[in-house]
A and B are shown apart, each in its own frame.
Chain A
């Protein structure tokens, strides 16, 4: 019994002494940290996805507090609301940026892009693209092994087994940009997010000449430039046999959709414009094509 009491007493005294030492050490070597960092961190979503370019939300919070000009910082997951909140708390100007969504720019579904061989290696886009052209003749298209699916922390991207192409769920997508970096073909782009997930974009990245594209895939952009001519907002540019619609300039007027001879321009969440009467012969077939595309 005596031993027991003695032990407890010794430990108590020792504990007390060390606590005092620790107290003074903590006082002496205290690291001064801006308390606002903790507050800002709490405002951020806490996904630690790295979409802002920093290692995590803590690093982003530090940058927000330390930098005077925060116009270059943006949390894609939290969006404008979070940025506004953090900026007003810190008394700085909030960066202006609208919501964005990841978009897979390939329309080469199985029916349009015939398979020319079968790949038996590691099921990874990075591996396949470092080895060869892929299972179709198009060297720019989606490989469908899902490197983007693997990196998405929000379960927002899936490879559709019917089309063999990755598809983004706009409701879940936070535009963190992880998939953009993961795609070895550079097919994924962050585009302006319209209400009701409306979108018009060129679902092709092929820089091959028209004839080569046609051989490999029936849904590819052949760089004919018809869309560029018809666009009233100058949002479309054709470079290296490939059309690109700038999502910041596009007003979703849909004029280009009907012009496209291969249906490479995809329309999502809207009905196409009624066909114009001046070229009645060729148009109807294309339009029905465009419609089925939209459903897919």
Chain B
């Protein structure tokens, strides 16, 4: 069975809590707050003002540049404010608050359940529709999908890879999506294949989801989907990283930035995003809802909830039985790459694949001691970096040296911190170094 060539770790997957829970629809919230920056790149520009009436699916934020994404209203109602509000990390960002009145949809959206397989659109039309619908990568990185699908001149896509790996422990939203919305996903794959002009697509799924593999294979055989193949992958974190997945499936290594996956002929798209693509192209439905896993040992009733964007996080946790009275850590995402939250009234966004609740004891990192140069972080790093070294460089503010040692290649997977026997917060410093060096590189480019 295939996997990526270097590094990686084997954390316990802890998917048992929410794995068997079918997707449920969460009640519509009375009020939503929608950040204008839910994606990588420039924030969208607000198209509505206080007092405006909006319909479900109406455009409320317009992409401000190519590297940006549209934002649509997830409910119908009245805009209460466009203001700076705290996000999950307590930092203020521009958000639109909408008070709900009923649930009236924009009439161009096809809300029927039936599967629509035929798509007569051209590649350009498909990408335009995806752009209009504001689809971004839903695995967590929130990279605008239309940018990914726009193949730069001189490059040619050879293979489409669908990321159904979900290597992050605890999370099961992609898994449930593949099981329950598998057909829509396969039509989405066909559309994406057409959009990027390839005749081969591989759906990568880790072998801890044998039922998803079997289900998709059955659907492919039954529906006669041509050129689509399901590839089981050996369980290993961070297989769901774009570069790791490409290496696992094709055996090709993506060169360091600014090279993109397309330079080795691959386009990668997440499983949930593929469903969103289907809905955008076939049903005219913008990205206004997603499946969010609410899970953890501390949660009484873990669930997979189909949630409208902008719903306060506390509503989801409430639906899953609420938080215990003890000290807990709530993560937006999984335990490896998720971000700790301090504000539970913050909204669900396009990149929020799950909410993981872990106890204070589990979350505690323990006292850090000196580095003994055991090299575990080096063996664990899937990008072949030297985490102990670049972490130290960032700590000592040796930005030039950190750049020379490719700190910008770091994918922030956390394998180094996870494997460090001395509990050194390696990634904390590496992330700081990466941000600073990226800033330096941008400033340098701007000067030229």
Which A residues are closer than 8 A to B by beta carbons?
116-117, 120-122, 124, 126-127, 130-134, 137, 139, 208
Decide: A117 and B92 in contact? CB cutoff 8 A.
no
Seed contacts A133-B86, A133-B91; 20 additional CB < 8 Å A-B pairs? A116-B342, A117-B340, A117-B342, A120-B363, A121-B365, A122-B425, A122-B429, A124-B428, A124-B429, A126-B432, A127-B431, A130-B431, A131-B339, A131-B428, A132-B89, A132-B339, A132-B340, A133-B342, A139-B86, A139-B90
* B364 → chain A closest CB, angstroms: 6
Closest chain B CB from A119 CB (angstroms): 9
B residues less than 8 Å from A130 (CB atoms): 431-432, 435
Which residues of the partner chain A approach B364 to less than 8 Å between Cβ atoms?
Answer: 120
Give bound CA distance, A117 to B431, whole Å. 21
Q: Are A133 and B365 in contact (CB under 8 A)?
A: no
Q: How far is the CA of A136 from the CA of B86 in the complex (A)?
A: 13
Q: Which residue of B lies closest to A121 (CB)?
A: B428
Q: Are B91 and A121 in contact (CB under 8 A)?
A: no
Could you name 18 residue pairs across A and B whose Cβ atoms are closer than 8 Å? A116-B342, A117-B340, A121-B428, A122-B429, A124-B432, A127-B425, A127-B431, A130-B432, A131-B89, A131-B339, A131-B428, A132-B89, A132-B90, A132-B340, A132-B342, A133-B89, A133-B343, A139-B91
Contact A121 B92 (CB under 8 A): no
Separation of A26 and B429 alpha carbons in the complex (Å): 49
Whole-angstrom CA separation of A121 from B90 in the bound complex: 16
Interface majority SS (helix, strand, loop, mixed), chain B: mixed
B1 CB to nearest A CB, Å: 36
Q: Which of A121, A134, A137 has the most CB of B within 10 A?
A: A121
Please measure, in the bound complex, the distance between the C-alpha atom of A133 and the C-alpha atom of B432, giving whole angstroms. 15
Q: Which residue of B lies closest to A182 (CB)?
A: B397
Q: How far is the CB of B64 from chain A (nearest CB, A)?
A: 24
Give 6 closest A-B pairs by Cβ, nearest first.
Answer: A133-B90, A132-B89, A122-B428, A122-B425, A127-B428, A121-B428
Q: How many Å lie between the Cα of A134 and that of B90 in the bound state?
A: 8
Interface readout for B201-245 with A: 1 if CB under 8 Å, 0 if not? 000000000000000000000000000000000000000000000
- In the assembled complex, the Cα of A205 lies from the Cα of B317 at a distance in Å of 34
How far, in whole Å, are A269 and B45 apart by their CA atoms in the complex? 50
Q: CA A137 – CA B345 in complex, angstroms?
A: 13
Which chain A positions have C-beta within 8 A of B343? 133
Residues of chain B within 8 A (CB-CB) of A117 are 340, 342
State in angstroms the CA–CA spacing of A130 and B425 once bound together. Answer: 14
Contacts of A137 in B (CB 8 A): 90
Within the assembled complex, what's the spacing in Å between the Cα atoms of A18 and B34?
A: 79
Query: Interface centre among A116, A124, A127, by most B CB within 10 Å?
Result: A127
Assembled-state Cα–Cα distance A147/B429 (Å): 13
A contact residues around B425 at 8 Å (CB): 121-122, 127
Closest Cβ–Cβ distance, residue A129 to chain B (whole Å): 9
For B432, give its contact among A127, A132, A208 (CB under 8 Å).
A127
| Assembly CA distance A121 to B395 (angstroms) | 13
